[in-house]
Chain A
Amino acid sequence: MAAGSMNLVGRAGAGPREAAVWSRRQVLLTDLRSVRGRAYPRVIGMMREPSWVMFEILLPFLATSAFVFVYRALQAPQEYVGFVVLGGALTAFWINVIWMMANQLYWEKSQGNLELYFAAPMHFMSILFGMAIGGIVMSSTRAATVLVIAGLVYGVTFTVDEWALLFGVFLLTLGALYGLGMVLASLFLVWGREAWHMGQLLTEPVYFVSGLNFPVARLGMLGALSVAFIPLATGLDAMRQLAFAGAAFPYGTPSPAVEVAILAAMTVVSIVGARWMLKAMERRARRDGRLSVRWQ
């Protein structure tokens, strides 16, 4: 029986009941391992199938180029080309948030993994953090490549006075974006089959209201609302102001310092919201017993 217990729980002399009582250290280490475990397939998967280089970097670069040529056709000032390039780089994160964060739990449910996540002895937030870290690594590669290649090919000159602030804005934008992705992951799971179309609804329409290829201030009140509530719009506007300091384009939006505060608030609210959503989802799952029913 003692040997059986050891095999069962991996610790000599501990019964299942004792083994279920974990120290804080054990909990933390298991959660950290879960973060690494969920990030692993995303990071390693990049090396295992090189086709992503073509489809995730080269072709999106060409799509970004199309908008560069619209401005060239209009003989726009060079900084507008820079806007497009910066916007094109940031779309990598937004696409990742929508399709590989927000939609992911719904996918996991369809594939039968979700119940395994719930049954595993870890906090579900570690799965979401793992997805986010893996996604950030994947998207950063694409974003950096688009930024460097497009910057060189189209001769974009960045005029940065405050590098530290720019880097801080970038990190906060990632925090707010992936925090939003964590909230949406639970929401999309509840919405079920609507998730796919919600993903579609959150791409081009969000690009438009976020001013992906033009200064968001041109949208007036709609642009102001975007800056207040959509991290892509806030981060993009703040980064444009910092990366093209002194450029002649309509501002009309808050200063980068204010946008930093908005992004920080978004990050905190979204992570707390994601935690709350997960708890609500678990409650609902227990009540309805339908959470792991596939294809609904």
Chain B
Amino acid sequence: MSALTPAARDGSATAATFDLARTRGRGFSDTLRTFAVSTRLGWQLEANWTDPLLFFIYSIAKPVSSALILVVMLEVIGGPASRSFRPFVVVGSALWSFVVSGIAGLAWAILEDRERYRVLKYVYVSPSDFLTVLVGRGVARIAVGLAGVVITLAFGVVALGVTFDVGRIDWPLLVSTSIVGLVVIIALGLLMAGVCIQTRQESWSYPEAFAGALFLVTGAIFPLTVLPGPIQAVGLLTPLTWWMAGIREALFPGGPDSIGGAGSTFAAWFGHLHPTAGETVLALLATGAVATLAALAIFRLSDRRAKRAGLYDRTTGS
């Protein structure tokens, strides 16, 4: 019952043998290669076929329009007096487009491969780690989302009169919150990928719907203090709330705060009006760790159920 041929067993030949070690792969270097290939594939699927100018327009139209909707809403009600609030909504809507790209990227990779290209089952049984493939596929959309953030912020400064001073940026806060926030967004994308494995083709809109719901509780476009207390508490337990607050404070130090303020749940819990930079990073780390672990656990559960129920083979349509 040995896996080796008789010639191999007596040592007279090395050809035509089955090397069991190969099934174990080469560890981290394999993971890196899988990640690089799936990232490249994601980018090719996303952008290699279109005119660069058109692709640029596609990528920025959505976040810029979202910012414009909010700016007009401010103008309609507040007029010129509301302009101090513009950086708040421009940063919030720019960052939110990044959140949507990150969350949707991973979930759409599942739907594209299962429903459109019908290769999900083949990708799954390939020697590559499925989780690594999925994250790699999502990177392209994250990159596009990041470009959208930068361009929307630039549009805000150039066209909407948002005052921005590069010299005042709090770089340590910006870098630390950006890194942790990126991990959290990928984790939320993984969570939605787990959901989309279980649901059908029309799940295309689910990631955006999920992100839309988080939009309410994270202080993306208005301060949490206008929400009822229990919903503010949900917001404080959401890592994206702290991520947004951290980026805002890093880019526009001393600007309007989305978390604290008089009468806020934050002030009631912590005894002071506004979170410090350290508190923001610590809260982001704590809530982010919980969200990431929960997302991983849910994805694994969904993966196990999908294997048992044959969901990776399934294509739906309506």
Interface on A for B, CB 8 Å cutoff?
Answer: 41-42, 45, 49, 51-52, 55-56, 58-60, 62-63, 65-67, 69-76, 80, 95, 99-100, 107, 110-111, 113, 193-194, 197, 200-201, 203-205, 207-208, 212-215, 218-219, 295
**Residues A63 and B62 in contact, CB atoms below 8 Å apart:** no
* A212 to B223 alpha-carbon distance, docked (Å): 22
Looking at the assembled complex, report how far the CB atom of B115 sits from the nearest CB atom of chain A, in whole angstroms.
Answer: 8
By Cβ-Cβ distance, the 6 closest A-B pairs, closest first, are A63-B212, A59-B209, A204-B65, A62-B213, A197-B58, A73-B222
**Residues A52 and B202 in contact, CB atoms below 8 Å apart:** yes
Looking at the assembled complex, report how far the CB atom of A30 sits from the nearest CB atom of chain B, in whole angstroms.
Answer: 22
Looking at the assembled complex, report how far the CB atom of A24 sits from the nearest CB atom of chain B, in whole angstroms.
Answer: 31
Q: Report whether over half of chain B's contact residues are helix, strand or loop; otherwise say mixed.
A: helix
**Residues B216 and A218 in contact, CB atoms below 8 Å apart:** no
B14 at the interface (CB under 8 A from A): no
A55-B203, A59-B209, A62-B213 known; A74 vs B78 contact (CB < 8 Å): yes
Q: Identify which of A59, A194, A218 gathers the most chain B CB atoms within 10 Å of its CB.
A: A59
**Residues B73 and A66 in contact, CB atoms below 8 Å apart:** no
Instruction: List the B residue with the shortest CB-CB distance to A212.
Output: B69
Tally B residues with Cβ within 8 Å of A: 49
Please list 18 pairs of residues, one from A and one from B, whose beta carbons are closer than 8 Å in the complex, sorted by A's number.
A42-B318, A45-B318, A51-B206, A63-B216, A66-B212, A67-B73, A69-B222, A71-B77, A72-B222, A74-B77, A76-B77, A111-B115, A197-B58, A200-B58, A201-B62, A204-B65, A204-B69, A208-B66
**Residues A56 and B205 in contact, CB atoms below 8 Å apart:** yes
Interface on B for A, CB 8 Å cutoff?
Answer: 49-50, 54-55, 57-58, 61-63, 65-66, 68-70, 72-78, 82, 89, 115-117, 198-200, 202-206, 209-210, 212-213, 215-216, 220-223, 226-227, 315, 317-318
* A282 to B58 alpha-carbon distance, docked (Å): 29
Looking at the assembled complex, report how far the CB atom of B48 sits from the nearest CB atom of chain A, in whole angstroms.
Answer: 10
Q: Report whether over half of chain A's contact residues are helix, strand or loop; otherwise say mixed.
A: helix
Q: For B205, give its contact among A65, A99, A201 (CB under 8 Å).
A: A99
Residues in A neighbouring B212, C-beta threshold 8 A: 59-60, 62-63, 66
Residues in B neighbouring A80, C-beta threshold 8 A: 76-77
* A197 to B209 alpha-carbon distance, docked (Å): 18
**Residues B72 and A218 in contact, CB atoms below 8 Å apart:** yes
* A244 to B157 alpha-carbon distance, docked (Å): 36
